[in-house]
Amino acid sequence: MGKLDPYRIREDFPILKRRIGDKPLVYLDNAASTLKPIQVIEAIASFYKEHYANVFRGVYTLSREATELYEEARKTIAKFINARSSSEVIFTYNATEALNMVAYGLGMEIVEEGDEIITTVMEHNSNLLPWMHVAKAKKARLVIVDITDEGELNYEQLSEVISERTKVVTITHASNVLGTVNDLKTIVKIAHEVGAVVVVDGAQSVPHMEIDVRDLNIDFLAFSGHKMLGPTGIGVLWGRLDFLQEMKPLKLGGGTVKEVTTCSITYEDPPRRFEAGTPNIAGAIGLMEAVKYLMKLGMNEVHKHETELLRYTFKLFEEELGESTVVYGPKNPEKRCGIVTFNVRGLDPYTVGKLLDEYGIAVRAGTHCAHLLHQRLGIEGTVRASYYVYNTKEEVEYLVQALRDIVQNRIRR
């Protein structure tokens, strides 16, 4: 396992051969969703062509094969995040569903009137709205921790607001706007001192850096498959087994119970109690293949590659674009994941996004489901370029060239 080679990796992604008009595709919207390697595509196709059947309970060959593949996927993902047991890995629809499962299955049980739920101003709505609902329903207090002017979490404020009334600290590991990577170990230490449960939105961290849930000492972690080379419609909730055994399932139905009578329900042990109905079997198998792909590359190498691209981007933005653009978030690439969020002075982000599309460059424009953060920054939206394993320095240069053209054309008009 040597240094990550994006040029060789690109050969595994058929869609990168596409052209947008007469321009080659430059895909820089990885924080929203990543492209899929041929290995993932073929693994899903192979399941449907050769092994398809429903999982569990089937005594025939195809059902046993499908069940084995589904559980192998669970074990592979457990290894990827260093879970203590595959029983701690629950397959969900996406990270949003996983976070809702914790909010409604645990939060509604442990939070009482007058208690506190701590979160931050940089949260994605998927990790904000469910907890807002829990706080309102339970007459608890939702405390929102601010950021510094540099775009980092205000740890001093966090220490001050956590109290004996704090039941849950729910936080993003990496901001989907600023790219800021939060110091989970510091947060966990403060939270656990008062007995609070720590819930982590890992949608922007799990795909981009090495994650060890045991070393981090967190209680819950949510992430999505489609942001890490896997298919859509599959996500993961990891939770400490002792919490999962006490947590109520968000959905009820087939496969979740051991026994039902007219007056009682005996739930299955985790993870089965949380996976009602026929699961996304093909999605789990596709995610397993994506995880194998990433493990082969090495997550430390993935993170290093993105850091190099960030460093190069900041350099070119300063040299080539200067005061014509505003970049948000920590200036130190070591403190963030592979996200560059910016605005071009005098142009709204949607216009910039549409103009970049004319160059074949795919970026995201808007509030990125982080309304509170944009309000905190005093802006209505931003342009976001986000990198992954197949992006190159030449693509960074092309992005900056396109932005320079856009700025110059605006000046001429």
What is the separation, in whole angstroms, between the first and last Cα of the chain? 51
Contact present, 177 and 339 (Cβ < 8 Å): yes
Which residues are paired to 169 by β-bridges?
118, 198
Residue 263 designated active-site: no
Contact present, 305 and 298 (Cβ < 8 Å): no
DSSP 80-102: HTT-S-GGGEEEESSHHHHHHHH
Provide the pairing of β-strand 220-224 with 382-386: unpaired
Closest by Cα among 300, 258, 412, 250 to 346: 412
- Rounded distance between C-alpha atoms, residue 64 and residue 56, angstroms: 7
Rg (CA), the chain: 22
Say whether 165 sits in a helix, a strand or coil: coil
Which residues are paired to 147 by β-bridges?
153
Ramachandran quadrant class, 399 (left: phi over 0; alpha: psi -120 to 50; beta: rest): alpha
Contact present, 361 and 26 (Cβ < 8 Å): yes
Provide the pairing of β-strand 23-24 with 26-27: unpaired
Q: Read off the tokens for 272.
A: 């089965």
Which listed residue (369, 372, 379, 392) is catalytic?
369
- Rounded distance between C-alpha atoms, residue 157 and residue 155, angstroms: 5
Q: Could you tell me the sign of the dihedral formed by the alpha carbons of 145, 150, 152, 157, in that order?
A: negative
- 349 preceded by cis ω (within 30°)? no
| Residue positions annotated with a catalytic role | 369
